[in-house]
Structure 1
Amino acid sequence: MILNRKIKRNIKIHKTTYIVAIALLILSTGLFTMFNIGGPVIKDSIKNFKDDYKVEDAYFTTALPISDMQPLENMFDLNIEKMEWKDVKVLDKVTLRIYKERKNINLVQITEGEALSKSKDIVINNDFYLKNNKNIGDSIDINGEEYNLNGKSATPDYIYMLENNTSLFSNKETFGVAFISEEDFKEIDSPSIGYSIRLNKDNESEFKEYIKENYFALSWVERKNNTKINAIDGDINGMFALGQYLPIVVVVLVSLLISIVIWRLVKNELTELGTLYAFGYTKATLTKHYMVYPILVSLIGALLGQIPGVMLANSIKAALSVEYNLPIIIVDPDIKIIVLSILIPIIIIAPINFIVISRALNHSAVDLMKGKLKEEGPSFLERKIPLKGLSFSMKYKIKEVLRNLWRTALTISAIVFSAMLLFFVFVMNDSMERIVKQGYEDSYKFDNLYMLSNMSIENRGGEKFWNLPVMSSNNNDEEIKYTLEAREKDSTLLVLKDAEGEVLSFDKNIVSKSLAKKLGVKEGDTLKLKSELEDSTFEIEIEKIANSFLGDKLYISLETLYRETEIPKDSYIGIVSKEKIEFQEGQLASSTSKTAMVDGIKSMISPLKFIMWMIGVIAALIGIALIYVIITMVIDENRLNISMFKIMGYDDKRLSKTILNINDILIVFGYLISIPLSKVAISAMFAEVTKDMEFSLQAIISPLSMLIVLIILETMYTLTKAISKRKILSIPMDEVLKNGRE
């Protein structure tokens, strides 16, 4: 059939555009399939893991031991399990937290290998093996005893493996969680003790009050406020949102691209269309003919995109495992997601192109044969913008931009999209570097941090502090959890500065900037605090805001803490010091060093940086591909003009400058638009990811980042112009004469 041969001929002529469109659809549908197969499976697996392995509803420690838990379980209709552990040094660098095997709460899942079955068996978290070059079946020395590495493990209370409550980031290089049998654990002296509960009814507050009155609670952390349990939820939600919206944006860009190509195709074939109308072809037949192009491209791109999408669905699990200790997660292809991924490009692309085609074909056969649409004249904007006094080259560029608004919109959208991805890379990189530099290296002046098993009043040197989990309501009446940190008034081992760089004193009530932002408060405001431990409320006036985004914290003096709560005067739960402090067996809940903290965050950031730079490369490739197609469109639409310019004596340099630089102003315009859009989008994403974490990532677009992104965009643009230059040079001088004869 004539029309079928015509399809093949047109695809061959515009093959570059269609290849780019298909490649972008492979990318977008592949991402959609990858995220929407992997994301929900991981989310459901984590939820089921917490439920099936009986995650705690709360965890607490007491000054007085609970000798008999059965009466408490009967009295309050709940389950209690004593959590006993001991931190030991292994392999010279790793703090291994060894727990007694659990029976009822926070159960252990064996992800690989076998469960504990005989004396001197031990199971340790997944990453311990990789980080320390160990395999299942190897042995490990623990306090002079040889233990057999029997398996890899995961538990719902250590999905995010924080060593202590003051940590914001895990360090799998230096911290691990292990389990041994109850009989083996009897050989361990002076273990630390805590308690986990699972409720059968909503009576946590009554039980907490009873524990406070009878056993003096030292700490109390509800499940919803436990970062070790919930931190992963923010990352999963962020990834899921990324997988939903990013591919759709690419599909819309591809739709614009194809619609412009189809519009140009129809415009260039008006005479042929009029002839076909005269021969009896109906509008419906011709519409079906032109709809073949977008549907064919959509199907090919979407079908091919399922191959990498399905193959890489497990990569989300791999990315999350860098930061989290994951349970067993099986990611299988989901036929519903695959079908949806194939349909989405068609659902978006087909209607847009149908409108474009219908609009073009909505003319009589006579008008089409006359080529009436070819003489569209100046646009409304062109008539309104004064062009007098401008050079011919500038007038020509402005007219090209204003007479091709679809192409202009596509150009700006392509630049904005690429720039936003690039800004995301640099803002994320800057945020991570800021955490290391400002959060640890500049603020932490101590070398060692110790968390005690029980509160103490003994003078051991260093600087004393208390950490308490608290909550306050923000302007939207949402409860925000954060840490109340009470320090000595003359503390110097933690340095906080205000926005002007002045060092703040702890005789003032200081709120971190990240927390102030979440709560919507400013200096002079009064903050109402609810203490999980004390189950009471009190008010603190905010006197200073620290320019710190590392940790959602409110800092007060120890004197203020003693006055506002029932915590005994002169007591403390932690110490920071320059020198090492010796403690007796069983006095420490955990200890770490500043070096270990910095190494931990750097270790976590390293693979994330690789992922970020991959996103940057993808952004650059998308930008180059789209700009190349757009410049090709410009050249094809100006073939006759280029031929005429050559006849008029334009040399290659001047000709290339006139034609190829048409989009210069659009590149700059798109870049400028991308800056505020990037800030809004990245801020929203950071807020979603960190809403359940006690720290914030700040979306600061630095002048250096703006300069680098502009240079990258201009380099992409210059590169595509250089590649396209040969197309202009290949257009013969007699092109306009041939067209006139036709």
Structure 2
Amino acid sequence: MRNPLWRRIPKELKEELGKYIVIFLFMVITTGMVSGFMVAGESMKKTYDNTFDKYNVEDGHFDLSDEASDNMKDNIEDEGVKLYDMSYYELPMSKIGSDSDGNSGNVEGNAETKDDTVNSVNDAADDGGRTLRIFAPRHDVNKMCLMDGEFPVGTDEIAIDRMYAVNNDIEIGDDIKAGDKVYSVCGFVALSDYSTMFQNNNDTMFDATIFGIAVVSNEEFDDLPEKNKTWSYSWMYDDGMPDEENDEKKLADDLLETVYTQAVMNGITVESYIPRYQNQAINFAGDDIGSDTNMMKWFEYIVIVILAFIFAVTISNTLTKEASVIGTLRASGYTKGELLIHYISLPVIVTFVASVVGNVLGYSVFKDMGAQLYYGSYSLTKYVTYWNADAFVLTTVIPLIIMIVVNLLVVNSKLKLSPLRFLRHDLSRSKRKKAVKLPHWKFMTRFKTRVILQNIPGYVVMLLGIYFAQVLLMFGLMLNPMLKHYQNDILDNMVADHQYVLDSQVETANNNAETYCMKTLRTTGDIDDEIMVYGIHSDSKYFPVKLDDGDVLVSDSYADKYEIVDGDKLELKESYTDDTYELKVTGSVVYPAALAVFVTEGDFREIFDKDEDYFTGYFSNDKLTDIEDHVVSEITKDDMIKVSRQLTKSMGGMFYIVVVFSLVMFMLLVYLLTKLIVEKNTVSISMVKILGYDTKEISKLYLSSTTVMVAVVTLLDILLSYLSIKVIYRAMLIDMLSGWMPIYMAPWIFPLMFVLSFTCYLVISLLQMKRIKKIPMDEALKNVE
């Protein structure tokens, strides 16, 4: 015989249609986002991993100051590698029609305000100071992927990196100027060894706005001026890449010795040597893609648990409201199991349908959104969508299990009571307690207090739900001002407007320039970071702190990331050797731009065994024009804010999505919980209507109590969110970012969060006033025992 209880499900769904539609939509969006991002992340990760074989990505490369002779290449290849010429030209680029000379973005003058300076630097990145690294077509190693358009065939055509084109508003058919020549953009490409646009491998962050790669025809490549050429050679191991990283390091170290020996014998300088495992342009994207999958999983689980508790509270309220019916059914022979299945059926059905619909949207709409986030940050080759069984299990099976378990626990604990107790509406599992005795307050105050005390379980759920929404809201609101503050902080604390790194010790005629020493070391702990060690004049006119012999100052960013205090000992090592150095910290200095250590020039030369007149570059507030031929790199304001600019460019839109999502979640939770509170007090509300209270007065009695609790809970959750964000932020960034960006919370964020949250609540309270108005007066008479 068919169970007649099933006929009640459509009726219950119709009665609570608004609530279930809201929950359904929210679960669809949550499941769709998580499923889509997981599918996109996994597909991107597999596509990235496949590029190594599909596009024959190099095992490493080195740059030389001059062309390697055939004999030199043969001697290097005798070490079990095959060399490929990957030389390139690095030329300034500007878009024809906007800034033909590429100089409109120069930052000049000292009268700018701090914000104007930041804006000028950002404008410089957008309108000038841009660079293209131009390659010949690749067909053997580090192959090309054509994203759109065509490969260049003529001497006036060029194919540029897709992301660089997007960031600089360049379209196929546009004319650009690279060096002294104008080219027509014929296509967009992705080079397999430049999935991330690192101009220099030791940069803290890449910048795909001011630096990009391009390909020209072989004929055009041969005609480019050789003065701008960098001789670069990629290698592939004859026996393939070792599976173990330690074996790869050993092979790379052995090859390095041969390369350096051959370079010295041929009078050539090795300008860089980068095995694949150290190449940020290759590895950075791969390390990041899919790394946020765990965060998305936990995000969904937390949302599902919150919704499951909301369902549980809803069902508990339904059981209380239908106690007489349940008692009658139990007395009529219905088993506890039958009623248990009935009361958890609707939440499970809603969860299942929402999960299926969410997965469909995940594999269609949200998948493309997730892919665009990756394509907005990295120059990836074309990807193929892969079926992700884990995504289906994690977004359909596990949410169903969570929903079933949570609701089983709640419903089962209620149904253990005897039918007689249901008939008597005696559903309390503890002995009846006396009402809390309240002081002799005014009637309205005492009544509102009673409402609060009676609905404490609902407010606890509200506390947890709003807490999670506030964490998301705070995270979305804090990032843009934090990046802005980081930019300002860096610019305020630059040692000099220009920092030059030289290839040899040359003198400048500028008396305002000041020499310094610099060396790059690495940390020895679990986190592998580059540490810049500077040797500064003890009486430096640029460095903000006077250094004495024996002083070892760390930058505040280094101290913050590694929690360094005065007296700690730092152990740093060379990148390519086993040499280590131990330094005892004597203090810190404000320098947010990098993880750095500062000592006097004399101490630097002694530590690293250098000559008395040794130096590596100049600090100067003036541009030095008489040493240009010896400059390896020049660090300016524009270079210093690469990290914040790139994060803003690639993730800025995501911040607003998080804010909107958190506010929607806040409104959902408050709507459902205030609705439950009104439903729980339906009989009481009906009774006071009989006593002559109007809707406005009743709303004051019930909703004002909830208003007070929402205000208290919101303030408490804002505090808890701030404490949680500090922990979460540190855990996320400590491994994700090479370098450090200290957390900063703009003071206006806290009041804005409260205003936004409370405004959302006021909208919800208006809806609940309409619900109170619809409660009939005969409701109290129906439930008289």
Q: TM-score range by the shorter chain?
A: 0.7 to 0.9
Distance 1:733 1:283, change over 3 A: closer
Paired letter, 1:414? G
C-alpha distance 82-542 of structure 1, shift in aligned 2 (>3 A): farther
Given the alignment of the two structures, is residue 358 of structure 1 paired with residue 394 of structure 2, yes or no? no
Structure 1 distance, partners of 2:580, 2:31, is 51
Stretch deviating more after TM superposition (657-666 or 574-583): 574-583
SS in 2 for 1:76: coil
User: Any idea what the Cα deviations from partners look like across 1:359-401, whole Å, max 9, x if unmatched?
Assistant: 222233333333332797766xx87x77445555555555545
Q: In the alignment, does 2:283 pair up with 1:230?
A: yes
Q: Which residue of 1 aligns with 2:244?
A: none
Structure 1 alignment gaps of length 5 or more = 497-502
Which deviates further from its counterpart, 331-340 or 478-487?
331-340
Distance in 1 between residues matched to 2:439 and 2:548, nearest whole Å: 66
Code of the residue aligned with 2:606 in structure 1: it is: R
Q: Is 1:193 equivalent to 2:237 in the alignment?
A: no
Cα separation, 2, equivalents of 1:16 and 1:391? 37
Residues 469-519 of structure 1: CA distance to partner in whole angstroms, max 9, x if unpaired?
421234xxx1422131425426979666xxxxxx56597433223323443
- Contact conserved, 1:449 with 1:594, CA < 8 A, in 2? no
Specify whether residues 6 and 495 from structure 1 end up closer, same or farther in structure 2 by C-alpha distance, changes over 3 A only: farther
Aligned to 1:619: 662
1:354-503 superposed matches below 5 A? 354-373=408-427, 387-388=438-439, 392-393=443-444, 395-404=446-455, 406-439=457-490, 441-444=491-494, 446-448=496-498, 450-452=500-502, 454-459=503-508, 461=510, 462-465=513-516, 468-474=519-525, 478-489=526-537, 503=545
Distance between the aligned counterparts of 1:87 and 1:420, measured in 2? 44
Give distance in 1, aligned partners of 2:688 and 2:634. Answer: 77
On the 8 A contact 1:480/1:519 being kept in 2, the answer is: no
For 1:265 and 1:584, how far apart are their aligned partners in 2?
Answer: 81
Q: 1:421 to 1:100 in 2, by over 3 A?
A: same
Cα offsets for 1:251-302 (capped at 9, x unmatched): 1111111111111112221221222233333333222222221122112322
Equivalent in 241, 263, 273 of residue 294 of structure 2: 241
Which runs of structure 2 are paired with 1:207-356 in the superposition (5 Å)? 207-212=255-260, 215=264, 217-233=270-286, 235-310=288-363, 311-332=365-386, 334=388, 337-338=391-392, 340-356=394-410
Q: Which residue matches 1:514?
A: 557
- Counterparts in 2 of 1:658-737, with a 5 A limit? 658-663=701-706, 664-665=708-709, 667-669=711-713, 671-673=715-717, 675-681=719-725, 683-689=727-733, 691-737=735-781
Deviations 1:133-156 (A, max 9, x none): 444455544444454534322234
Q: Is the 8 A contact 2:518 2:535 kept in 1?
A: no
Q: Aligned equivalents of 2:613 and 2:232: distance in 1? A: 23
TM-score (norm 2): 0.82
Query: What amino acid maps onto 2:226 in structure 1?
Result: D
**Partner Cα separation in structure 2 for residue 323 and residue 492 of structure 1:** 39
State the distance in 2 between where 1:692 and 1:57 align: 24
Rate the CA distance shift 1:694–1:371 in 2: closer, same or farther, 3 A.
closer
Query: Would you say the 8 A contact 1:39–1:240 is kept in 2?
Result: yes
Q: Quote the Cα distance in structure 1 between the aligned partners of 2:749 and 2:541.
A: 33
TM-aligned CA deviation for residue 416 of structure 1: 0.3
Q: Deviations over 1:69-106 (max 9, x none)?
A: 43443443234445433322232233222234556654
Alignment-derived partner of residue 152 in structure 1: 188
Does the C-alpha gap of structure 1 residues 686 and 52 become closer, same or farther in structure 2, counting only changes over 3 Å? farther
Counterpart of 2:480 in structure 1: which amino acid?
A: N
Kindly indicate whether residue 10 of structure 2 is the aligned counterpart of residue 8 of structure 1. Answer: yes
Equivalents in 2 of 1:158, 1:443: separation in Å? 32
For the Cα contact (< 8 Å) 1:466–1:487, is it kept in 2?
yes
Structure 2 unpaired stretches of 5+ = 95-101, 103-127, 242-247
1:281–1:348 distance in 2 versus 1, CA, 3 Å:
same
For structure 1, which segment, 149-158 or 165-174, has the greater mean C-alpha deviation from structure 2 after superposition? 165-174
Alpha-carbon spacing, 1:721–1:427, altered in 2? closer, same or farther (3 Å)? same
TM-score, scaled to structure 1:
0.87
Counterpart CA distance in 1 for 2:5 and 2:548 is 80
Higher deviation after alignment, 619-628 or 360-369: 360-369
Whether 1:164 aligns to 2:200 is yes
Distance 1:619 1:464 in 2: 51
Change (3 A) 1:577 1:426: same
Partner residue of 1:73? 76
- Give the 3-state SS of the residue equivalent to 1:562 in structure 2: helix
State the match for 2:106 in structure 1: none
Deviates further, 238-247 or 130-139: 130-139
Conserved 8 A contact 1:465-1:488: yes
- Describe the shift of the 1:217–1:263 C-alpha distance in structure 2 as closer, same or farther (beyond 3 A): same
Choose which of 89, 92, 116 in structure 2 pairs with 1:89: 92
Q: Secondary structure at the match of 1:684?
A: helix
- Note the C-alpha offset of 1:409: 2.9
Structure 2: how far apart are the matches of 1:66 and 1:326?
A: 31
Contact in 2 for aligned 1:644/1:733 (Cα 8 Å): yes
- Kept in 2, the 8 Å contact 1:227–1:692? The answer is no
Counterpart AA for 1:348 = I
| Higher alpha-carbon deviation: 92-101 or 9-18 | 92-101
Post-superposition CA distance 1:293-352 (Å, at most 9, x none): 112211232222224322121212212233322222233554663354222321111122
Q: 1:553 to 1:403 in 2, by over 3 A?
A: same
Contact 1:512 1:545 in 2 (8 A): yes
Between 73-82 and 12-21, report the one with greater CA deviation: 73-82
Q: Distance in 1 between matches of 2:25 and 2:311?
A: 13
SS of structure 2 residue aligned to 1:691: helix
Structure 2 residue corresponding to 1:639, chosen from 682, 694, 701:
682
> Structure 1: how far apart are the matches of 2:260 and 2:438?
80
* Letter aligned with residue 189 of structure 1: E
1:532 counterpart SS class: coil
Deviates more, 1:297-306 or 1:279-288: 279-288
The question of whether the paired residues in 2 share the 8 Å contact of 1:238 and 1:685 is answered with: no
**Does structure 1 conserve the Cα–Cα contact (< 8 Å) formed by 2:569 and 2:585?**
yes
Contact 2:192 2:380 in 1 (8 A): no
* Structure 1 counterpart SS, 2:476: helix
Shift of 1:465: 4.9
Given the alignment, which residue of 567, 573, 579 partners 1:536?
A: 579
Q: Please give the secondary structure, in 2, of the residue aligned with 1:373.
A: coil
What is the CA-CA distance between 1:611 and the residue it aligns to?
Answer: 1.7
- 1:538 deviates by 2.0
Q: Verify the 8 A CA contact 1:55 1:106 in the aligned structure 2.
A: yes
Kept in 2: contact 1:686–1:697 (CA 8 A): no
CA distance in 2, matches of 1:568, 1:242: 51
Question: Relative to 1, partners in 2 of residues 1:30 and 1:487: Cα closer, same or farther, differing over 3 Å?
Answer: same
Alpha-carbon spacing, 1:652–1:628, altered in 2? closer, same or farther (3 Å): same
1:563-615 CA deviation, whole Å, 9 max, x = no partner? 33356665555555433333688655555642476588446515633321221
| Secondary structure of the structure 2 residue equivalent to 1:372 | coil
Q: Superposed, which structure 2 residues align to 1:126-141 within 5 Å?
A: 126-136=162-172, 140-141=176-177
Distance 1:378 1:615, change over 3 A: farther
What is the aligned-residue identity percentage?
A: 23
Provide the rounded CA distance (Å) in 2 between the counterparts of 1:543 and 1:57: 42
Secondary structure of the structure 1 residue equivalent to 2:698: helix
Number of equivalent positions: 727
SS at match of 2:90: strand
